């Protein structure tokens, strides 16, 4: 198994420029062997890639791409904070919020867009616990929001 940073290259994935926080908080906080990201929106180059209610204004496949973008942003922030993704021991937990149209109940399929990225990049260490829920509204009308807890190798 390659390192996560090597896997990124093999997969041809380039992490985005970490998006700026849109309010009075920071993207990542470390405490002990844990680091936790703020909730990430599907921002790319300063604009949201996917807005609207999933199940009405966009499909679950489109929303899964949004979730993947959220996860890429989380990883971009973690890389900047830690220096390298190779310092991540384990993806511990992923919290996924899907802006859902009434009657849409396939949030797990949507959040798989984020989860699958973690497996692609981190392999076994990417297997995480997860909460996936629907909500009626998200910031900026984003389709998805994802936050991530990781553990870090001891120095």
Please give the residue ranges that form the binding site for its own copies (CB under 8 A): 22-29, 31-34, 36-39, 90, 92-95, 97-98, 100, 102-109, 111-112, 115-116, 119, 127-142, 145, 147, 149, 151
Whichever of 58 and 111 has its CB closer to its own copies, that residue is: 111
CB of 58 to its own copies, least distance (A): 15
Whichever of 15 and 110 has its CB closer to its own copies, that residue is: 110
Residue 72, H or E segment = helix 60-82
Angle among Cα 138, 142, 144 to the nearest 5 degrees reads 80
Specify which residues 13 forms β-bridges with: none
Whichever of 32 and 46 has its CB closer to its own copies, that residue is: 32
Residue 86 class from Cβ within 10 Å (0-12 exposed, 13-18 middle, 19+ buried)?
A: middle
């Amino acid at each position: 198994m390659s390192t996560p940073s090597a896997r990124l290259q093999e997969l041809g994935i380039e992490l985005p420029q970490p998006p700026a926080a849109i309010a009075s908080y920071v993207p990542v906080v470390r405490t002990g062997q844990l680091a936790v990201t703020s909730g990430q929106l599907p921002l790319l180059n300063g604009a949201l890639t996917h807005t609207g209610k999933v199940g009405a204004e966009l499909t679950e496949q489109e929303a899964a791409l949004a979730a993947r973008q959220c996860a890429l942003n989380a990883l971009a922030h973690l890389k900047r904070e830690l220096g390298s993704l190779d310092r991540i021991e384990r993806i511990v937990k992923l919290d996924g919020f899907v802006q859902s149209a009434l009657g849409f109940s396939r949030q797990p399929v949507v959040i798989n867009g984020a989860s699958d990225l973690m497996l692609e990049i981190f392999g076994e260490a990417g297997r995480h616990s997860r909460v996936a829920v629907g909500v009626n509204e998200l910031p900026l009308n984003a389709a998805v929001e994802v936050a991530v807890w990781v553990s870090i190798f001891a120095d």
